[in-house]
């Protein structure tokens, strides 16, 4: 083979390596590919790759020596036992004694024919290695890897070039040096691109978690929701990917799709940044800037005083008219009326707290109390409660009126609008769909778009179950205690029967014990009670 054909073959090889380097996304495999490719191009027996750390050290990343069958670092899972090489000594002076450090500090290639014969470099560690292994380190080619800003990000070092015909150790030729320098340049670009992509991805995900944390911090009553929902979402998605039975058995997710769903889960409530705190944090039915139940307490005291004034007037009239026999009934009636007012006051304070379901008779009692009559400053009769207060105190579920609930529900519309306005790369284009679907129902009665099960992807349906189960078991809602595990599953099962959640994913949720894994990590010990899966609505029907 002529020198020209050899050169052409090497250039083609270099071109192919460059393409392979640029397409590799795994950091460890990329580092391995750099060393292995350089060894093949130069027929070197050994190769080492160092990366420059922030504290000015050269960290061992990859070690390969064919004749000693050494393969460490990278994807091997075998740690390299050698400490990092310092670029600067303890006194702050540059470490020019070690060839790798010298190459990094000076940004130059060092080509050594025989390490045992060269002056100016400390190869004592190399000699110790050789003595321990019976190896003979001879020729060294040390090449700095520079990024697009001419910064040294790593060092590629090859050891013992071998004659392809005889296998004898030989110096690295000038042609080999130039090839490795070119390879190192391409490798540095590939590494830098990967580091930039990884850095941007890490920044993006950190920013997403920052937003979610800010939303959780905004409301003491939903604190942790934006953090827990992603955890439960990924647990259920992974379980669905593993399942081998039922309609979900064909579902799977690539690593990019997993990242896409996780980001969507972190952002599922981002629209709540626009929700007023007075609505989001409304702890009682009469809360605005303050809890107006205190004003109602004052009205009760005023009503009692007015009742007392009326009683004393009647008592005085009885004395003046000599109707002493009427006094006991009058006093008894006054005492009973005072007692009733106190019971009504306590009842309204309890009604103000909110509950999962306010009975109709309690709502009627609120309206009845509202008709009590007070006298204003002019002595004119006024209702004890305003229409707006009655409207709030008779809220059937929770503490929010229909108008306030609409404001809360609007957060999902804002979430979709915010997420759809972002310029996503192709592997994140479904983030708005996943994040925006967690309030939809399988029967099309959800919001904001009224999607049916067939119109929703499996990941979006996964998020719906995660969001509901987290809310059921959460202990930070103002109007309810955290549900025990069996209670939450009972409610979730009824939601399956009511066509609210995906039936197949619900079965996976139970069968794969996703609920238990989540409970063991996030629920209080007293919430984790015994669960009889055969009695869970919907699930017992599906497995019988």
- The whole-angstrom separation of Cα 488 and Cα 472 is 6
**Residues 6 or more apart in contact with residue 539 via CB below 8 angstroms:** 493, 496, 506, 507, 510, 533
CA 9 to chain centre: 49
Q: For residue 130, which phi and psi values (nearest 5 degrees)?
A: -65, -40
Q: What is the 3-state secondary structure (H, E, C) of 70-127?
A: EEEEHHHCCCCCCCCEECECCCCCECCCCHHHHHHHHCCCEEECCCCCCCCCCCHHHH
Confidence of residue 543 (pLDDT cuts 50, 70, 90): very low
Phi, psi of 59 (to 5 degrees): -90, 130
More confident call, 197 vs 247: 247
For residue 326, give the DSSP letter. Answer: G
Each residue of 36-91: pLDDT tens digit? 989 988 999 999 999 999 999 999 999 999 999 999 999 999 999 999 999 999 99
Kindly report, residue by residue over 282-296, the tens digit of the pLDDT.
Answer: 888 888 878 899 999
Question: What are the pLDDT digits (tens) for 413-452?
Answer: 888 999 999 898 888 999 999 999 999 999 999 999 999 9
The span from the CA of 2 to the CA of 206, in Å, is: 56
Tell me the per-residue pLDDT of 217-267, one tens digit each, with 9 for 90 and over.
776 666 688 889 999 999 999 999 999 888 898 899 998 999 999 999 999
């Amino acid at each position: 083979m002529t020198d020209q054909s050899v050169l052409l073959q090497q250039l083609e090889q270099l071109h192919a390596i460059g393409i392979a380097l640029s397409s590799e996304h795994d950091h460890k495999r990329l580092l391995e590919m750099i060393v292995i490719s350089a060894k093949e191009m130069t027929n070197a027996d050994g190769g080492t790759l160092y990366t420059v750390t922030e504290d000015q050290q050269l960290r061992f990343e990859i070690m390969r020596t064919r004749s000693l069958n050494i393969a460490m670092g990278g994807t091997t899972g075998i740690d390299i036992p050698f400490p990092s090489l310092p670029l600067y000594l303890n006194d702050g002076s540059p470490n020019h004694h070690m060839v790798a450090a010298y190459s990094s500090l000076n940004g130059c290639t060092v080509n050594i024919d025989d390490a045992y014969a060269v002056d100016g470099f400390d190869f004592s560690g190399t000699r110790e290695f050789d003595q321990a292994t019976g190896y003979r380190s001879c020729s060294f080619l040390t090449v700095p890897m520079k990024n697009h800003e001419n910064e040294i990000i790593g060092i590629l070092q090859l050891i013992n070039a071998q004659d392809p015909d005889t296998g004898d150790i030989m110096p690295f030729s000038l042609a080999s040096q130039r090839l490795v320098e070119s390879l190192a340049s391409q490798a540095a670009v590939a590494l830098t691109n990967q580091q930039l992509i990884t850095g941007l991805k890490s920044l993006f995900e950190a920013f997403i978690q920052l937003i979610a944390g800010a939303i959780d911090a905004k409301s003491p009553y939903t604190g942790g929701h934006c953090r827990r929902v992603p955890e439960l979402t990924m647990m259920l998605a992974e379980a669905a990917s593993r399942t081998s039975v039922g309609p979900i058995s064909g579902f799977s997710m690539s690593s990019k799709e997993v990242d896409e769903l996780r980001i969507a889960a972190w952002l599922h409530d981002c629209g709540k940044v626009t929700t007023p705190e007075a609505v989001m944090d409304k702890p009682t039915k009469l809360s605005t800037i303050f809890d107006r139940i205190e004003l109602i307490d004052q009205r009760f005291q005023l009503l009692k005083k007015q009742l007392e004034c009326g009683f004393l007037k009647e008592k005085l009239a009885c004395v003046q008219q000599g109707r002493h026999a009427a006094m006991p009934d009058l006093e008894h009636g006054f005492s009973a009326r005072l007692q009733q007012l106190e019971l009504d006051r306590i009842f309204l304070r309890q009604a103000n707290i909110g509950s999962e379901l306010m009975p109709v008779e309690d709502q009627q009692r609120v309206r009845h109390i509202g008709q009590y009559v007070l006298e204003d400053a002019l002595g004119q009769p006024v209702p004890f409660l305003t229409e707006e207060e009655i409207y709030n105190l008779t809220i059937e579920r929770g503490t929010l009126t229909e108008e306030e609930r609409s404001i809360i529900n609007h957060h999902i519309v804002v979430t979709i609008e915010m997420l759809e306005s972002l310029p996503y790369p192709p592997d994140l284009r479904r983030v708005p769909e996943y994040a925006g679907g967690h309030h939809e129902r399988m029967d099309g009665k959800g919001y904001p778009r009224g999607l049916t099960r067939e119109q929703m992807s499996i990941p979006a349906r996964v998020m719906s179950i995660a969001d509901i189960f987290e809310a059921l078991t959460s202990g930070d809602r103002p109007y309810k205690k955290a549900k025990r595990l069996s209670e939450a599953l009972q409610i979730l099962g009824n939601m399956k029967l009511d066509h609210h959640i995906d039936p197949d994913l619900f079965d996976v949720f139970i069968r794969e014990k996703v609920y238990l894994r989540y409970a063991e990590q996030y629920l209080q010990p007293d919430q984790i009670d015994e669960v009889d899966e055969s009695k869970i609505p919907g699930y017992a029907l599906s497995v019988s």
